[in-house]
Amino acid sequence: MSKILNDTSKFLSFVLRHEPQAIGLTLDSEGWADIASLMEGAAQSGRAMTRDLIQQVVDTSDKKRFSLSADGLRIRAAQGHSTGLVAITHPEKEPPEWLFHGTATRFLDSILKEGLRPGERHHVHLSEDEQTAAAVGQRYGKPVVLRVEARRMRQQGFRFFQADNGVWLTEFVPVQFIMKGAT
Ligand code: HQG
């Protein structure tokens, strides 16, 4: 991916997930921003971007990080939010038997004591495949993939949701549903 696309993707993640107020942007509770307002706020912050560039970022995002509204006028981050202004109603779904969480080895002791917590974000993020989870874990150090007994959790009343981009979300994973090591 070119530098401009990568930089713009990071900037959009920052304002659409974490700090819309940094450019005077308003998100609705479902996370949607008006693209014209986004472009205006970005330009005023010295980050001018064209509609075409935004479209390219959406189209080339490996993780499908952003969604456009059907009318093409609005954009949102599919998941990963920390801003308290957004509470997306992700559809609740029956998860597969196993889901995977990638983390760094240095977090293992704490996770195996406390369970998986959402941290700054609204949910714990889980993947359907181990490769994706390993790549997520790599961002923080030596990666390790944890297996989560998602189906059994759900049977015991824990709720699972799926974001626009396929990432699985849940509020908390207690330690008794976590296993170290891949399948
Ligand atoms: C860890 C990326 C200590 C957790 C990815 C993770 C994802 C604990 C870190 C999305 C813990 C939080 C989210 C505990 C959890 N003790 N550490 N009890 N419980 N952790 O970045 O899941 O590229 O907030 O393992 O693809 O890494 O940004 O969450 O290492 O979908 O689009 O605390 O971000 O997408 O880190 O990543 P994060 P995540 P993007």
What is the pLDDT confidence band of residue 182, given thresholds at 50, 70 and 90? low
Given a cut of 70, whether residue 145 has pLDDT beyond it is yes
124 Cα–ligand 1 center, Å: 7
Residue environment code for 1-13, b if the CB has 16+ CB neighbours within 10 A, otherwise e: eeeeeeebbebbb
Q: How far is the CA of 103 from the centre of ligand 1 (A)?
A: 7
* pLDDT confidence of residue 180: 87
- Give the model confidence (pLDDT) of 124-138 as tens digits: 999 999 999 999 999
Task: List, for residues 86-104, the tens digit of each pLDDT value.
Answer: 999 999 999 999 999 999 9
pLDDT in tens, 47-97: 999 999 999 999 999 999 999 999 999 999 999 999 999 999 999 999 999
Number of DSSP helices (H) and strands (E) in the chain, helices first: 6, 9
Residues above pLDDT 90, as percent of the chain: 97
Per-residue pLDDT at 181 exceeds 90: no
Query: Distance between CA atoms of 138 and 116, rounded to whole angstroms?
Result: 17
Per-residue pLDDT averaged across 141-149, rounded? 97
Q: Do 99-180 and 3-77 fall under one CATH topology? A: no
Mean pLDDT over each residue of the chain, to the nearest integer: 96
Q: In ligand 1, which atom is closest to the CA atom of 104?
A: 30
The domain locations on the chain are 3-77, 99-180
d(CA 161, CA 93): 5
- CA count, 13 A, side-chain hemisphere, 160: 25
Q: Would you state the CATH architecture of domain 99-180? A: Alpha-Beta Barrel (3.20)
Question: Which residue from 121, 3, 13 is spatially nearest to 58, judged by alpha carbons?
Answer: 13
CB atoms within 10 A of CB 143: 16
**H-helix segments, the chain:** 3-13, 35-44, 51-60, 108-114, 130-138, 150-155
Nearest ligand 1 atom, CA 121: 24
Q: What is the pLDDT of residue 1?
A: 74
Query: What is the number of alpha carbons within 13 Å of residue 83 lying toward its C-beta?
Result: 24
Residues 6+ apart with CB under 8 A from 2: none
Helix (H) or strand (E) holding 126: strand 124-126
Which atom of ligand 1 is closest in space to residue 132's alpha carbon? 26
pLDDT value of residue 159:
98
CATH for 3-77 is 1.10.10.970
**Distance (Å) from CA 121 to ligand 1 centroid:** 8
Pocket of ligand 1 (CB under 6 A): 13, 63, 65, 80, 103-104, 107, 110-111, 114, 116-117, 119-121, 125, 136, 140, 167
CA of 118 to the centre of ligand 1 (A): 7
* pLDDT for res 68: 98
